[in-house]
């Protein structure tokens, strides 16, 4: 019997392997959002690629969302606990750059994949995978988070005050016969801030995307900020004023897409305001580097609550992750009407077992008037989805330009809380 040449045998084996990985949602056998070509088949995710939910490069052996150290890509599977956990990053409410929400709630700290967007920027499921199910060709996903904080002001020295926040986001997504992915997302926040009444706020958006990226519209004004911002500390307390003060209108539309390790995102609203951002991230050896740049034209509401000020700004961020420790630095300049604002911020965060520690600070000036902020945070992971936090938050920003209070906050607070994400 004649023997087939080895090259034909190799080609046949490769074709059979590719066919085994095929699925109706993924007929090519490869995960479309992984520029490094991570295989997606019966064995699950390979050790190379971008995370399905966060869009962040990772090295994994089929781990669940957030279970692996997460800031590495194509470097092999790092042992759990050796790397930097994405779910440990938090931010602040977008509409309260200074003091508007004494207990600031968490946002996802990383860019998302090129298909699908978020309208609730809390870190909704810190350790667990989102709840998801299919109905026909439509995939539904639910994420949520509950925060129960207590704060004590060292300035007022009054009674400690408690708060509560419940956040959720539900999305529906399907793929059309032409391979275009379409979806809608709705998110809400039901909260009682310290000493205030109950309040409910919600956002909605729709999107369509493919290998070329995603176009979207709705309440997406914070999307570029989320893709380019400096990563925060390990507690749900934000470093006040860390970023441009001006924003685009709440209702806006735009585009985001990933090209290899680079993500591009842009927004525009009905007032001709815009927000453009670039993010570049990839590993090098046992380190991970990330650089972002952003330019925006928007509107800022002064501390008096009704004065509207036009703004234009630029800012850049760089961070380095080595093992379980992250270092980052951000700088920015903003023109607010006839006033010049500049600022810089830096932070360090590390994790050891269930404990996480972070320290960050910011210094800036508006026409020579100082704005200072600092946050020291400690987090203890108790169980899957459950964590406790303790933070010391310092803010001092009292800026008056031409009789208008641009910023007006001064406080030092100790904030403790429990958080549960699902």
Using alpha carbons, select from 332, 326, 284 the residue that is nearest to residue 312. 332
pLDDT tens-digit profile of 289-322? 999 999 999 999 999 888 999 999 999 999 999 9
**Quick one: fold of 86-421?**
Porin (2.40.160)
Longest pairwise C-alpha distance within the chain:
96
pLDDT tens-digit profile of 120-167? 655 555 445 668 888 889 999 998 889 999 999 998 888 888 889 898
Using the CB atoms, write b or e for 348-387: b if 16+ within 10 Å: ebbbeeeebbbbbbbebebeebebbbbbbbbbebeebbbb
The domains of the chain are located at 86-421
- In order along its 422 residues, the chain shows pLDDT tens digits of 444 444 343 434 343 343 333 333 333 333 333 333 332 233 233 333 333 333 334 333 333 333 333 333 333 332 333 233 233 333 333 333 333 333 333 333 333 334 577 776 555 554 456 688 888 899 999 988 899 999 999 988 888 888 898 989 999 999 999 999 999 999 999 988 776 778 899 999 999 999 999 999 999 999 999 999 998 899 888 899 999 999 999 999 999 999 999 999 999 999 999 999 999 999 988 899 999 999 999 999 999 888 999 999 999 999 999 999 999 999 999 999 999 999 999 999 999 999 999 999 999 999 999 999 999 999 999 998 899 999 999 999 999 999 999 999 999 999 999 999 88
Block residue for tokens 């870190």 = 123
In sequence order, the 6+-apart residues with CB closer than 8 A to the CB of 311 are 244, 245, 246, 296, 297, 298, 299, 300, 334, 335, 336, 337
pLDDT tens-digit profile of 89-120? 333 333 333 333 333 333 333 333 345 777 76
pTM over 0.75: no
């Amino acid at each position: 019997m004649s023997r087939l040449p080895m090259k034909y045998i190799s080609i046949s084996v490769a074709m059979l392997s590719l066919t085994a990985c095929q699925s109706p949602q993924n007929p090519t056998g490869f995960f479309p959002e992984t520029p490094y070509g991570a295989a997606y088949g019966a064995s699950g995710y390979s050790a190379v690629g971008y995370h399905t939910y966060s869009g962040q490069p990772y090295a994994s052996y089929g781990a669940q969302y957030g279970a692996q150290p997460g800031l590495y890509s194509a470097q092999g599977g790092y042992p759990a606990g050796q790397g930097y956990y994405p779910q440990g990053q938090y931010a602040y409410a977008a509409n309260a750059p200074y003091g508007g929400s004494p207990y600031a709630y968490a946002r996802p700290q990383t860019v998302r994949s090129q298909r699908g967007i978020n309208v609730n920027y809390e870190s909704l499921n810190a350790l667990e995978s989102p709840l998801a199910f299919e109905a026909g060709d439509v995939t539904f996903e639910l994420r949520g988070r509950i925060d129960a904080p207590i704060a004590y002001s060292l300035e007022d020295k009054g009674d400690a005050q408690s708060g509560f926040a419940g956040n959720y986001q539900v999305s529906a997504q399907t793929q059309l016969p032409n391979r275009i992915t379409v979806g809608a997302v709705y998110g809400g926040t039901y909260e009682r801030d310290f000493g205030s009444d109950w309040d409910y706020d919600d956002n909605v958006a729709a999107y369509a995307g493919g290998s070329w990226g995603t176009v979207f519209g709705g309440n997406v004004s914070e999307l570029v900020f989320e893709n380019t911002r400096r990563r925060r500390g390990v507690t749900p307390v934000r470093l006040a004023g860390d970023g441009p003060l001006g924003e685009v209108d709440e209702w806006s539309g735009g585009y985001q897409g990933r090209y290899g390790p680079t993500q591009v995102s842009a927004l525009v609203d009905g007032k001709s305001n815009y927000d453009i951002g670039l993010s570049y991230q990839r590993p090098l050896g046992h380190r991970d580097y990330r650089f972002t740049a952003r330019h925006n034209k928007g509107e800022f509401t002064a501390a008096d609550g009704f004065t509207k000020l036009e703004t234009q700004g630029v800012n850049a961020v760089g961070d380095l992750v080595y093992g379980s420790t992250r270092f980052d630095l951000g700088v920015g300049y903003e023109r607010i009407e006839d006033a010049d604002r500049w600022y810089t911020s830096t932070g360090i965060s590390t994790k050891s077992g269930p404990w996480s520690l972070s320290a960050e600070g910011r210094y800036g000036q508006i026409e020579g008037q100082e704005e200072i902020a600092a946050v020291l945070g400690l987090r203890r992971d108790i169980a899957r989805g459950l964590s406790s936090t303790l933070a010391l938050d310092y803010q001092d920003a009292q800026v008056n330009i031409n009789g208008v209070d641009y910023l007006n906050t001064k406080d030092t607070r100790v904030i403790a809380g429990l958080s549960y994400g699902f």
